[in-house]
Amino acid sequence: MSRHISVLMALAAFVVAGCREGPAPDGKPLVVASFFPMYEFTRQVAGDRAQVVSLVPPGVAGHDWEPSPQDVAQVRRARVFVYNGAGFEPWAEKLIKEAAGPSTMVVAASTGLTVPRTGGDGGMDPHVWLDPVLAQRAVEVIRAALERSDPGGQATYSANAAAYGAKLAALDARFDAGLRNCTRRDVVVSHAAFGYLTRRYRLEQIAVTGLAPQAEPSPAVLAEVVRAARTRAVTAIFLEPLVSPKLAETLARELGVRLLTLNPVEGITKQEVADRIGYIDLMTRNLENLREGLGCT
Ligand SMILES: [Zn+2]
């Protein structure tokens, strides 16, 4: 396609955006994402073509958050609303009913990717973004939605999604190779966010709390984790950066094991934003810590 036609198409898209309800102040379509990984994947696909904002701010985890009236107004202006779904953002379901108009395209990135959580209470495990293979599929779901909402940007969205998808595929290859030869395969974590990740790389997740980080484990659950960790000769416990480490410290002391960080990437800190740390960087650190804690060569 000639440069001339691209410019014309961009102009046409601009005019369409300008006529519809909901363009961002600078004329680009406004795309609102629920929390950090959705924001990161959407931003990677959109590039400069759309204005992408995250509802949940840096420093806050996506499980427990409530939208303000300003957030509701922003969703009302959005061309596309991207959320994970599968119950991860209970507030988003409410927000969609309240704010998403007929011109807002609503996308649940985990559509078709979830399986029931282990432990079996019937609910789905929402944490698909922690598996680099499922993350690639979520990126494709987001790409398709952006293309439908803004057909003039198809070439851009498609090229961006392919480039980011290749980085995620490389991340998957590093996890696969890096976790192949390990002394131990049991991963004791503070909340059950790593079901997809551990399944993908033939590891086993032993979760101290439930699916949400704020759920306090009962003494019976704790006793079971201690027993499992002793039986399986675990030498490290993995905790997440955004929750209180008190529980994991108690366990680590009782079992005489090390504490390592395993980030569920449910949020990002202000410092990480300032340092331009993204999903792939956080996942690379996760891989390093898993390799260390599991004794991988
Ligand atoms: Zn979680």
55's CB contacts (< 8 A; 6+ apart) are 32, 33, 34, 35, 65, 67, 71, 74, 75
User: Distance between CA 196 and CA 240 in Å, rounded?
Assistant: 16
Cα 15 to ligand 1 centroid, rounded to whole Å: 41
Q: CB atoms < 10 A from the CB of 90, how many? A: 12
- 88 Cα–ligand 1 center, Å: 7
What residues have CB less than 8 Å from 64, skipping those under 6 apart?
A: 212, 214
Taking alpha carbons only, the member of 232, 259, 235 closest to residue 247 is 259
Cα 171 to averaged position of ligand 1 atoms, centre (Å): 21
Indicate whether this model's pTM tops 0.75: yes
d(CA 253, CA 255): 5
pLDDT tens string for the chain (297 positions)? Answer: 344 444 444 444 433 333 344 455 568 999 999 999 999 999 999 999 999 999 999 988 766 788 999 999 999 999 999 999 999 998 998 999 988 878 899 999 999 999 998 765 678 999 999 999 999 999 999 999 999 999 999 999 999 999 999 999 999 999 999 999 999 999 988 788 999 999 999 999 988 765 555 566 677 777 777 777 788 888 888 887 755 667 777 777 888 888 888 999 999 999 999 999 999 999 999 999 999 999 999
pLDDT at 83: 97
Spacing, Cα 192 to ligand 1 middle (Å): 7
Distance (angstroms) between ligand 1 centre and the Cα of 150 equals 32
- From ligand 1's centre to the CA of 2, what distance in Å? 46
Span from the CA of 256 to the centroid of ligand 1 (angstroms): 26
Q: Does residue 107 contact residue 142 with C-beta atoms inside 8 Å? A: yes
